[in-house]
Chain A
């Protein structure tokens, strides 16, 4: 729920409750006050009637009723009550107040009763409800409108900043720039965010430095190992020692590949590739294919190609890696004499090859070292790197197995 709707929602219920309470209070106070006034008025009227009788004048008025009686009348209490009287003109029964009091005038007890209409409380209450409902409605509608326009102004810097933060990447060279605002909370938020971004950037740089240093630190001893092992190979060796030496060499190669692969993945995750340009996938595919054509021939693989031209805006370096990884994969896992199909269109690159179904869960295919160390083909990072490259370019790399064919699809 948007902040504005949330505020309006609470605003609505608050208004409803406040207006409900104040409306009823108004109604009851008003009724009480008016009753009192009417009673006073009726008492005065009674007194005036008594005065008229005292003066010996006769009173004949429909809403006044005078009864002569004996002393027992004097025992009756003053009564102030409401009653119903039929209004002939309006043709409705309406509520009236009446007041009756016993008075001794010139030694004669009288019971005097006066009446007056109380102008229909029903109408009063209706009027009050209507007025209050309109107040509530206006408050909510106008309140929301005002809220909306004020919010737009107040929240504007916040929303602009939100957009900038969304677009911000710690790997970019620019610092995080935020729009100034005079709202204290937003100011504080801005400060915190700028601090946070600066800290993230520092940590990111430290991590990057660490990764590069680690690479340096590992690659140099590896170089020494590699060159020394090659130097040993130059000596006359017995078959046994040659075998031992070979194992050591293979392990060195694997280690250096894994190290390179992991570094590449780290860089991919940090989005450290900025050499984006228009790259022809068709050309990359052709170049890599030409390079390894003899390897395909050697394995007697039947290659079918359905290639259309396709250009993407991406890192040339990464495109080479992506395509060569997929080619290596197809090359390594296609049995001799089987079929490989490459097809490239505007939306889709498909590399499919014949082969037995996967011996491990499909979900592990794109995971680092997902297939386990059971075979010595590859370093267990190739597909994970490919996946990451696609993700970086917002493409989808998917796998399927149907009709005895492994299929890798890239949706551009």
Chain B
């Protein structure tokens, strides 16, 4: 997957690039509107992660350009302005998703992957690990040939883990992913634990392998 990050904040850029590179992405970056314009003219990307507030222009204005030349390119707006108007404008102009700062890298990764599956792979892609196969579009999950039943939350959690494999994912990040912005309370850590425990048990019973490791005090790490 080829991703362009348009972002004027160097630390964020570095973090995003480091993380996405470690997940087999080809990453490019643009720190100004002009640079982004240039890159978008010369290359094609699977997904563009777009900050709205740039030193020499508004990311919103880039959306139309991208849509004109590359219909397949996914666009995710990354904005510090939690402004409903910006969000609606962006989505109307053809952006695929909108994420507000501050965000979790895992969440960004999950969203970028979802856009990529939807747009580039037209939703036919499977996510596989070992003998397991996930079909995100039908929300089904198989071990070899037989279907494994997961609750909706377990399914969402599993995708989140697989997409963010080999990374310690904090409970707060999982809470935000599972229940959204409004319900991300530390009260819900216990419920995360319950879902994780059930998921872990199911995977372990089927394959005999423990995929999810608890990192004391920090969160969970999914490895395969």
Which residues does A use to contact B, with CB under 8 Å? 212, 215-216, 219-220, 222-228, 230-231, 233-234, 237, 239, 242-243, 245-246, 249-250, 252-253, 256, 260, 263-264, 272-275, 288, 291-292, 294-295, 298, 317, 320-321, 324-325, 327-328, 331-332, 376-378
Contact = CB atoms under 8 A, between A and B. Distances in A.
Nearest to A235: B168
24 contacts: A212-B81, A219-B101, A223-B9, A223-B80, A223-B101, A226-B102, A226-B103, A227-B11, A227-B15, A230-B106, A233-B168, A233-B170, A239-B216, A264-B82, A275-B88, A292-B179, A294-B151, A317-B84, A324-B180, A325-B182, A327-B183, A328-B182, A332-B185, A332-B187
A249 B188 CA distance: 16
A242 B106 CA distance: 19
B196 interface: no
A225 B183 CA distance: 22
Contacts of A272: 84-85
Contacts of A321: 182
Nearest to B195: A294
A256 to B, nearest CB: 5
A325 to B, nearest CB: 7
A222 B11 CA distance: 11
Nearest to B11: A224
B80 A219 contact: yes
A223 B12 contact: yes
Interface in B1-59: 9, 11-12, 15, 18, 53
A234 B179 contact: no
Contacts of A328: 182-183, 185
Contact of B183 (A226, A275, A292, A377): A292
B182 A324 contact: yes
Given A233-B218, A378-B185, A220 B101 contact: yes
A295 B183 contact: yes
Nearest to A260: B82
A215 B80 contact: yes
Interface in B86-128: 88, 100-106
A294 B178 CA distance: 11
Contacts of A219: 80, 82, 100-102
A249 B172 contact: yes
A344 to B, nearest CB: 19
Given A212-B83, A233-B168, A378-B185, A243 B217 contact: yes
A223 B183 contact: no
A256 B170 CA distance: 16
B190 A298 contact: yes
B153 interface: yes
A117 B170 CA distance: 119
B206 to A, nearest CB: 22
Q: Sorted from nearest, which 6 A-B pairs have the closest CB atoms?
A: A324-B182, A242-B217, A223-B102, A219-B80, A216-B80, A222-B102
A291 to B, nearest CB: 6
Contacts of A317: 84
Nearest to A316: B84
Contacts of A223: 9, 12, 80, 101-103
Contact of B167 (A228, A234, A376): A234
Contacts of A295: 179, 183, 188, 191
A58 B20 CA distance: 147
Given A223-B12, A224-B12, A242-B216, A215 B81 contact: yes
B84 A230 contact: no
Contacts of B217: 239, 242-243, 245-246
A275 B92 CA distance: 13
Contacts of B105: 227, 230
A294 B191 contact: yes
